[in-house]
Amino acid sequence: MSKAWKLSQRQNRKSAVSLTEGSVAKGILMFAIPLFFGQLLQQFYNMVDAWVVGNFADNDAFAAVGSSGNLVFLIIGFFNGIAIGGGVVISRYYGAGDKENVVRAIHTNFLFGILASVLATVVGSLLVPHILVWMKTPQSVLPSSLDYFGIYFAGVSTVIMYNICMAIMRALGDSLSPLYYLLISSVVNIVLDLIFVAGFHWGAGGAAIATVISQGLSVVLCVIRMCRSKEYTRLDVRQLRFHGKMMGEVVRQGLPTGIQNSVISIGNLVVQTNINSFGAYAMSGHGAYSKIEGFAFLPIMSMSMAMPTFISQNLGAKKYERAKKGALFGILAGMLMAELVGVVLYFGAPAALGLFVDTPEAIGFGRTHAKTVALFFFLLAFSHCAAGVLRGCGKAVVPMIAMLSFWCGVRIVYVTAALKLVPAFQTISWAYPLTWFLSSIVFLLVLLRSDWIHAFEKEAK
């Protein structure tokens, strides 16, 4: 690469972290820390949604909001998977110094986000009411669920476009700007929650309105930042068009992750359906745990999200040994942090659950689930971080197959069969450690194979 190109990179990264130079551990951590705080803010305003609804609305409204995650992810998870693939493509070209293809990739991804937003709005609005009935949502909870999801999917474009913008900026090594904008939108979300739910008593629907408005603000801020960039990575509306070859690369990298996200969500919906069969207290107790678990997963998710960008940029720069060292560090660091958090959650879950629900029955269900899964978080971390490494080196199909096989297929079979033998709530909880263990075995075998060791070099040829 020329000196002029290196200078341009340094100037363009005033808000970015160098991932192809310097200390491997420092580079990954400095990139992952803003990701961690960004996820923390997202979880925080999700928690505020739950806390406000749980304290200023009834148990049915809380059950509707608390159990929304899997159904939401079923629809938007597919498009977010494509966004991840787009980030891998942008990172590869950015690391290689290929300006023309970086520009094409940015604008192709952004236009894809616009079209995906329209599609997700239509699909979500049409399918969600039927899915809620199929999930055996209790009649007392169904009205609140319909209000929440109707509003959420009417404004789902704000969620998808934020993820698209975030993936583009992260691919360029900038994980700070999305954090700043998310901080602003989180404050707005808290204020609106208090106004709509606590003040106006709009229940679950009020929480959905607050989410859509605050997420939309973060999109506006991201777009302004991207359009005002002085470098070649600037977003220019006049250049929004699909480049066939580029979109093919994005789909090839992102489609496996998108399919994986959606199909795993189907598996989780089957699990949620069985949870629903235990009643509204089981729904609210598990929903309360899910809010706490969102915080517990932050180290896992921040490290796994850092891996594709780090691996892909170094692959593009042909720094193969650095990429391998980063993969090892990311996986081990993710596992260590996850297990430390798991131990804290194991002992602290009862007190934390009380922040969201105050009925002993709901707390009991949440405590049972926490005590069952928390000490196995290291397995979840290994699978997620290994999947991030493989996506970064262009092997997204491997994580897709492993996770679909175990986190969907085996999980559904286990829950369906095991509940007939042991019809207890804890039987459902054991589905998670079991499937994390099985996927970890597969990822370990893949990573130990010698042909994976040389995957970086092969991808570059």
Q: How confident is the model at residue 68 (pLDDT cuts 50, 70, 90)?
A: low
- Give SS3 for 326: helix
Would you state the pLDDT for residue 161?
92
- Tens of pLDDT, residue by residue over 73-103, are 767 777 778 888 888 888 888 887 888 888 8
Residue 15 forms part of a structural domain: no
Q: Write down the pLDDT at residue 332.
A: 93
7 in a structural domain: no
Whether 4 is covered by a domain: the verdict is no
- Of the chain, the percentage scoring pLDDT greater than 90 comes to 16
Mean pLDDT of 407-411: 88
pLDDT score of 5 more than 60 = no
Higher pLDDT, residue 154 or 247: 154
Give residue 141's pLDDT band: very low, low, confident or very high (50, 70, 90).
Answer: confident
Q: Residue 266: what pLDDT? A: 74
In a domain, 10, yes or no: no
In the prediction, which pLDDT does 150 show? 87
Contacts of 438 (CB under 8 A, 6+ apart): 406, 410
Domain that holds residue 50: 20-460
Residue 3 lies in a domain: no
Domain count, the chain: 1
Question: Using one digit for the tens of pLDDT, what is the confidence trace for 314-328?
Answer: 888 888 888 888 999
In a domain, 12, yes or no: no
**Most confident listed range (30-34, 152-156, 314-318):** 152-156
Residues in contact with 91: Cβ distance below 8 Å, sequence separation at least 6, in sequence order = 171, 172, 308, 309, 312, 313, 316, 392
pLDDT at 458 over 90: no
User: Does the pTM exceed 0.85?
Assistant: no
- Inform me whether the pLDDT recorded for 400 exceeds 90: no
- The answer to the question of residue 5 being in a domain is no
CA–CA dist 50, 34 (Å, integer)? 24
Closest-CA residue to 113 (of 72, 151, 152, 158): 158
Does residue 323 form part of some domain? yes
**Average pLDDT over the chain, rounded to whole?**
82
